[in-house]
Amino acid sequence: MAVIYRVNMTDLSVRSEAPGPGYLETGGRGLTSALIAAEVRPTCHPLSPENKLVIAPGVLTGTGAPCSGRLSVGAKSPLTGTIKESNSGGMGAIAMATLGIRAIILEGKPADRGLYRLIVNTEGIQIEPADELAGLGNYETVGRQYEEFGDKVSCLSIGQAGEMGAAAASIAVTDVEGRPTRHCGRGGLGAVMGSKGVKVIVIDPRGGHRPKPADVEAFKRGAQKFQEILKGHPLTGEGLPTYGTNALANVINQAGAYPTRNFSQGQFEGTEAISGEHQHDVILERGGEIAHACHRGCTIKCSRIYVDENGQYVTKGPEYETIWAHGADCGIDDLDAIARMDRLDDDFGLDTIETGATIGVAMEAGIIPFGDAEGAIGLLEEVGRGTPLGRLVASGAEVLGKAYGVSRIPTVKGQSMPAYDPRAVQGIGVTYATSTMGADHTAGYSIAANVLGVGGTVDPLKPEGQVELSRNLQIATASIDASGLCLFVAFAVLDKPEAMDAICDMFSGLLGREFTADDYLALGKATLAREREFNRAAGFTAADDRLPDFFKTEKLAPHGATFTVSDEELDTVYNFVGE
Amino acid sequence: MPRVQVNLYATLRRYVGGAPSVEVEIDPGRTIEAVLAGLGVPTDQTRILFLNNRAANLSDTLKDGDQLGVFPALGGG
């Protein structure tokens, strides 16, 4: 039986309810955004009792559909002030789905400012005091849970950053090995969890059952077809497992779109030393692991295990965005130093993109020089100690930049841009400017057609065609984010039309009715419309759908490019709403 | 004789002994496809091409001092 749990942290009570009819055929971001839009006052303070944190697996999660283990977390964001959904891999979503849980909604705020843990199992949810976990990092926090509950559980947790209410705080999700390496990173949702007084959620799936499709054979046919497509595509079948997400470093650097030294250049001279190819060689030489799955049922396996010179575990990956943020954006070409920073981010519970970009701005401000890896690690350690400077770092690039009088701050709606300069890839600039989430590459990954030759070809340096490209990708992404499928399946879906048929077959088999590509896209459109309306009611206007001015005035080498998509064109991205 | 620099990435490096970059002498007007064939790089495995940091096609011709970036199908993010 599908269930939604409401956990009231004001009176420490738990209520279960059956999902309403509108919520049965959606999940992930579709469900988190529907619940936030329906139940949270858009102008409330994100850290007030009125905000809610919604945690939801996708529609297909737990069914055995390939690559369907994404977990969505939604709330009003303390970083952007918009509605927010941030999703992650790891094992948490599958554990929830195995217990039949469609969503857990954290509400209210404890009057005593105490810390609690939630134990989720076949009995329901128990709330227990957990003040002994105060001030601990994610590794120690989840390590204690595994000692107590064994290795079959999954954990969602916050580190020091979430406890201090920092706007760059993430929510960690444990991986297959029980490490807190996968994160709902963007938008500061760890601070919302911290404001509810919840340090860790332990999910024990033992005794639960995998969701059963209404038509098992139809579902299996779709899942098998989908798996064959993913394994047969050169990107999802070879490129991502072999080189990981950081294979992109050289590609984006060649395109002149690799933001370097706080978005002041488009190419980094140290790229080879932090590239996916070099990372691959280092990992294999030291006895680490490539082609690692972040959750069971993943066939792409883009994750890796990074070890030090003695073969000792340091961290996962690190991923492309993390290596860029702590690397090229800070002028740092030392992969081991970047891996240490990734580990610290995961332990303190910080969004690696926001944190790296913030350190880049701190370098621009002169707090430490560009290229100073040890200085960057020192800044991060300030977060763990909760010093005033550490709190600034954990507050994101916009806050730190303003505090130090920096004029080049690469944010939209308060959220730092990821690893693609919008002057050299104009399509991603449209997504950064107009996404309901603030600057977010995953919301509409225009890099595919602008650079990678996937899903068509649109010249990255010209404004023509970028709005349509971004709009279509934003809709398709919102649909994927509801399904629980990893966004990386999109590379195969954009190339092979039969992949969309396979997804529809899986939905049809699961739901027991015909589910078409139009139904699928309708999920995404409905989600975007709700999110957009929430943001409007929260006070956002067209003036917020803009890139910082320096992208229009400062030319980016090597192309001498500026961002040239007009404001009028940007304002047409959401013209499908209300159709 | 005109020379071009060919930068190969990811799985394509296996065709040039693992080297990230090779310099090639060319006859003027040679195409990218011909240069890659001369190196033994199967063009059916090349998916993303840059000529002097701009997107290129296999049929584009080369001149002295050009820089090529050649990738298989890659993605991430």
pLDDT at A435 over 70: yes
Identity at A4, one-letter amino acid code? I
- Residue A574's pLDDT band (boundaries 50, 70, 90)? very high
3-state secondary structure of A568: helix
pLDDT at A397 over 90: yes
State how far the Cα of A303 lies from the Cα of A288, in Å rounded to an integer: 11
Determine, yes or no, domain membership for B77. Answer: no
State how far the Cα of A188 lies from the Cα of A167, in Å rounded to an integer: 4
CB contact under 8 A, A247 and B69: no
Strand partners for A87: A72
A447 interfacial to chain B (CB closer than 8 Å):
yes
A353-396 pLDDT per residue, tens:
999 999 999 999 999 999 999 999 999 999 999 999 999 999 99
Q: How many Å lie between the alpha carbon of A577 and the closest alpha carbon of chain B? A: 28
Which 254-273 residues of chain A touch chain B by CB within 8 A?
254-256, 267, 272
The reported pLDDT for the residue numbered A235 is 93
CB contact under 8 A, B75 and A256: no
For residue A396, CA distances in Å to A101, A382, A404, A543 come to 33, 14, 13, 21
Size of interface A-B (CB pairs under 8 A): 96
Q: How many Å lie between the alpha carbon of B12 and the closest alpha carbon of chain A? A: 11
CB contact under 8 A, B53 and A488: no
Measured CB to CB, residues of chain B less than 8 Å from chain A are: 7, 9-11, 13, 20, 45, 47-48, 50, 53-55, 69, 71-77
Please give the CATH architecture assigned to the domain spanning A246-419: Orthogonal Bundle (1.10)
Determine, yes or no, domain membership for B76. Answer: no
Neighbours of B42 (CB within 10 A): 11
- Residue A402's pLDDT band (boundaries 50, 70, 90)? very high
CB contact under 8 A, A247 and B10: yes
- Domain extent at residue B60: 3-71
Strands ordered across the beta sheet of B54-55: B21-25, B3-8, B67-71, B48-51, B54-55
3-state secondary structure of A236: helix
A245-295 pLDDT per residue, tens:
999 999 999 999 999 999 999 999 999 999 999 999 999 999 999 999 999
For residue A22, count CB atoms less than 10 angstroms from its CB and return exposed for 0-12, middle for 13-18, buried for 19 or more: exposed
Number of domains in chain B: 1
CA-based nearest residue in chain B for residue A443: B77
Q: How many Å lie between the alpha carbon of B8 and the closest alpha carbon of chain A? A: 10
Mutation site, B9, B70, B74, interface A, largest A CB count within 10 A: B74
CA-based nearest residue in chain A for residue B44: A234
A124-159 pLDDT per residue, tens:
999 999 999 999 999 999 999 999 999 999 999 999
- Identify which of B7, B11, B20 has the shortest CB distance to residue A238: B11
- Identify which of A245, A250, A451 has the shortest CB distance to residue B9: A250
A457 interfacial to chain B (CB closer than 8 Å):
yes
ipTM: 0.97
CA-based nearest residue in chain B for residue A488: B76
Strand partners for A461: none
Which 462-491 residues of chain A touch chain B by CB within 8 A?
487-488, 491
- Identify which of A239, A442, A453 has the shortest CB distance to residue B77: A442
Q: How many Å lie between the alpha carbon of A452 and the closest alpha carbon of chain B? A: 6
The per-residue pLDDT of chain A, averaged, comes to: 97
Determine, yes or no, domain membership for B48. Answer: yes
CB contact under 8 A, A559 and B9: no
CB contact under 8 A, B77 and A447: yes
For residue B2, CA distances in Å to B32, B41, B66 come to 14, 20, 9
Q: Tokens for A324, please give them.
A: 């860029």
Chain A hits for B72, Cβ within 8 Å: 234, 238-239
CB contact under 8 A, B48 and A251: yes
- Residue A579's pLDDT band (boundaries 50, 70, 90)? low
Average pLDDT of the segment spanning A72-101: 98
Q: What are the residue boundaries of the structural domains of chain A, listed by start?
A: 3-203, 246-419
**Which CATH number characterizes residue B14's domain?**
3.10.20.30
pLDDT at A56 over 90: yes
Place of tokens 């650097």: A253
Q: Tokens for A164, please give them.
A: 């201090």
Non-local CB neighbours of A462 within 8 Å, separated by 6+ positions? A426, A564
Q: How many Å lie between the alpha carbon of A239 and the closest alpha carbon of chain B? A: 5
State how far the Cα of A246 lies from the Cα of A227, in Å rounded to an integer: 23
Phi-psi region of A172 (alpha: psi -120 to 50; beta: other; left: phi over 0): beta
Fold observed for domain A3-203: Aldehyde Ferredoxin Oxidoreductase;  A, domain 1 (3.60.9)
R_g of chain B, CA atoms, integer Å: 12
State how far the Cα of A501 lies from the Cα of A507, in Å rounded to an integer: 10
Percent of the residues in chain A that have a pLDDT greater than 90, as a whole number: 97
State how far the Cα of A90 lies from the Cα of A201, in Å rounded to an integer: 14
For residue A195, count CB atoms less than 10 angstroms from its CB and return exposed for 0-12, middle for 13-18, buried for 19 or more: buried
A456-470 pLDDT per residue, tens:
999 999 999 999 999
Instruction: Identify the CA nearest to A574 among candidates A395, A434, A369, A374.
Output: A434
Chain B hits for A496, Cβ within 8 Å: none
Q: How many Å lie between the alpha carbon of A246 and the closest alpha carbon of chain B? A: 7
Determine, yes or no, domain membership for B18. Answer: yes
Q: Which residues of chain B have pLDDT under 50?
A: none
For residue A394, CA distances in Å to A56, A74, A135 come to 26, 20, 15
CB contact under 8 A, B76 and A233: no
A94-127 pLDDT per residue, tens:
999 999 999 999 999 999 889 999 999 999 999 9
Chain B hits for A459, Cβ within 8 Å: 55
For residue A514, count CB atoms less than 10 angstroms from its CB and return exposed for 0-12, middle for 13-18, buried for 19 or more: exposed
Q: How many Å lie between the alpha carbon of A446 and the closest alpha carbon of chain B? A: 11
CA-based nearest residue in chain A for residue B14: A277
Mutation site, A254, A260, A267, A290, interface B, largest B CB count within 10 A: A254
